[in-house]
Amino acid sequence: MNLENLDALSQKIQSMLEALRTLKSEKLAAEKTIAAKAANEEVLQSEVAEKSKQIEAAQAEIANKSAELENVKAELASKNSELDALKATLAERESELESIKASVAEKDAKLEDMDRVVSEQGEEIQSAQEKFQTLLSTIENELGTEIPVQSPGEESQEQPAADDSQKPAGESAQPDFFG
């Protein structure tokens, strides 16, 4: 019995050793798999850390761009208000220009009217001078003498003030053509 027990015990030990070897090999395979998975996890964690850094950098860049955008928006709003002010000034100046144009047009019309009046008066004066010359010519022909004619401005320049004082009172300063 001892021998049989020994054989049975030996077989049990053999089968246990076999199971132990299988377990050791499975353990080694599992440890290798675990090590590979751990290495893979570390790679993934480093990739996640890298991606996190990239995300943080992108978020910082977005924040910077947002701040720049806000600055540009503020500058644009300022430029728009300046543009509105310039448009208002331009409209005011255009209104002033239209007012000045209307005033100039009115003054041009008055000037044209005055030019017409001066032209008409010049024609009347010319006509009166021609009639005067004709009348003077007729009088000179009747009298047979030439009568000197001076304009009022010439008369006061050519005659000294002493001549007026030598004339007797009651006589006119105009020469008497019939006397």
- State what percent of residues in the chain have pLDDT above 90: 64
Per-residue pLDDT reduced to its tens digit, 57-105: 999 999 999 999 999 999 999 999 999 999 999 999 999 999 999 999 9
Identify which of 143, 134, 135, 148 has the alpha carbon closest to the alpha carbon of residue 178.
143
Residues 10-62 pLDDT 10s: 888 999 999 999 999 999 999 999 999 999 999 999 999 999 999 999 999 99
Element (H, E) at 48: helix 2-143
- pLDDT value for 168: 45
Instruction: Give the span between the Cα atoms of 39 and 45, in whole angstroms.
Output: 10
Report residue 81 as tokens: 């208000």
Give mean pLDDT, residues 96-118: 93
Which pLDDT does position 8 carry in this prediction?
Answer: 85
Band of pLDDT at residue 142, cut at 50, 70 and 90:
confident
What pLDDT is recorded for position 113?
A: 92
Handedness of CA 119, 120, 126, 129 (dihedral sign): negative
What is residue 106's three-state secondary structure? Answer: helix
Q: Are 143 and 177 in contact (CB under 8 A)?
A: yes
Indicate if the pLDDT at residue 119 is higher than 80: yes
> Which pTM does this prediction carry?
0.41
Q: Is residue 170 pLDDT above 50, yes or no?
A: no
Longest dimension (CA), the chain: 202
**Measured distance CA(161)–CA(157) in Å, rounded:** 9
